[in-house]
Amino acid sequence: MFLPSRISNLTSASPASVAKVTGDYRVSLTEMSGKNALLNPSVQQYFDYASALKLVNIPVSSPIKKTEFANPEIWECVHTLTRNSQAVAFSPDGKMLATGSTFIKLFDLETGLLIRTLKRDSGILKTLAFSPDGKTLISSGLSQRIELWNVFTGKLISEFITHAYAVNALAFGKDGKNFVSCDRGKTVQFWNADDTHATATFVQHHDWVNSLAISPNGAIVASGSYDETIKLWNLHTKSQIATINAHSPVFSVAFSPDEKLFICGCADGKIKLWNWQTAEFMGVIVGHTDEVNSVAVNREGTIIASGSADKTVRLWNSQTGEEIATLTGHISSVKYLTFSPDGNTLASASAEGNVKVWRRG
């Protein structure tokens, strides 16, 4: 695959360079010399793909040449929702947007009008996730409580008490019953909606766990942390299976819906990419001038969106790494963003409390 100057490509010298360190397979920086890095054969059983997953240690710096927009795209801001937190989520049918500050507000995406308010009383809203059928919603924030809601009645179904204060991210499994949380207590917890107690609790990270993502096949959970690692977990057996060393605090992780890409956004301002099917480390995208707080991939896997402390949302061609749009208008750090299910709408939330809804032209 041709990779332009914007993307840096690195690899370990040979399989012999792989070393096992306290259960995590890693490659030392001094052994990096080309494209792919570390192969962990034990991960293969968890995937539907022919090849195993390769994990990499990414160098802190590498030569990157700035490029101009090659094929620019037009995205227009169609709604700005004010007085919210950084939590935002699209319903699976793409008709509603959930956000809020303390309360959760459900908006009609077509009109921008408020549909319903879910009245929480557990502090600032930090994270939201719809179940795959769109009937329920989980939420949490600056507390030890996770709330499960009926989306259509607005009624609270149940509450769950977490291991530590301040839940940073939530993610639903494909079955709509199992979900995962992570928090500032270095914890990843697994839950079942029918049981108020965690089914598994892991304190394997060494700092805040900032982000979660579940693979499209529903088998793998990825967790990204300030400790500069991404850990991969088997959602079914609730066990850790691998660690990726990102060499920078990880603020966001994401899988592409087309099952091709796995990406992360980091404090060093870089976006790191893997081809999830072929196990190839694709490289590093550079363009932001400050930390990358959030990353997302559209349904087709063709566009990567990134939100940064530099106050911009940037869109990238996932195959070439070329920047195709810069979306401006936020007046503070962009904390979170997400694509709608059809990939034609993007929502971004910033520190000043504004949520902007962008539509593809």
Comparing CA positions, the residue from 273, 251, 260 lying closest to residue 337 is 251
Q: Is residue 1 part of a domain?
A: no
Q: Is residue 243 part of a domain?
A: yes
- Over residues 246-255, the pLDDT tens digits come to 999 999 999 9
Q: Is residue 2 part of a domain?
A: no
Q: Is residue 159 part of a domain?
A: yes
Long-range contacts of the stretch 97-105 (C-beta < 8 A, 24+)? 97/347, 97/355, 97/357, 98/128, 98/130, 98/137, 99/125, 99/128, 99/347, 99/349, 99/355, 100/125, 101/125, 101/353, 104/128, 104/137, 104/139, 104/149, 105/81
What's the rounded mean pLDDT across residues 24-31?
27
Q: Return d(Cα 98, Cα 43) in angstroms, integer.
A: 35
Size of the chain, expressed as the number of residues it contains? 361
Domain count, the chain: 1
CB 325, CB 308: distance < 8 Å: no
User: What is the percent of the chain with per-residue pLDDT over 90, rounded to a whole number?
Assistant: 68
Q: What angle do CA 247, 285, 342 make, to 5 degrees?
A: 115
Coil, strand, or helix at residue 16?
helix
pTM of the model: 0.83
CA 212 to chain centre: 6
Q: Return d(Cα 282, Cα 264) in angstroms, integer.
A: 12
CATH for 37: 2.130.10.10
Q: Is residue 160 part of a domain?
A: yes
Whether the per-residue pLDDT at 11 is higher than 70: the answer is no
Instruction: Say what the pLDDT of residue 21 is.
Output: 26
Q: Is residue 63 part of a domain?
A: yes
Whether the per-residue pLDDT at 1 is higher than 50: the answer is no
Q: For residue 190, what are the domain limits?
A: 7-360
What is the residue type of 164? Answer: A
How far CA 92 is from CA of 97, 172, 269, 284, 308, in Å, comes to 10, 12, 30, 30, 25
Q: Is residue 289 part of a domain?
A: yes
Q: Is residue 64 part of a domain?
A: yes
Q: Return d(Cα 189, Cα 53) in angstroms, integer.
A: 24
Mean pLDDT of the chain: 82
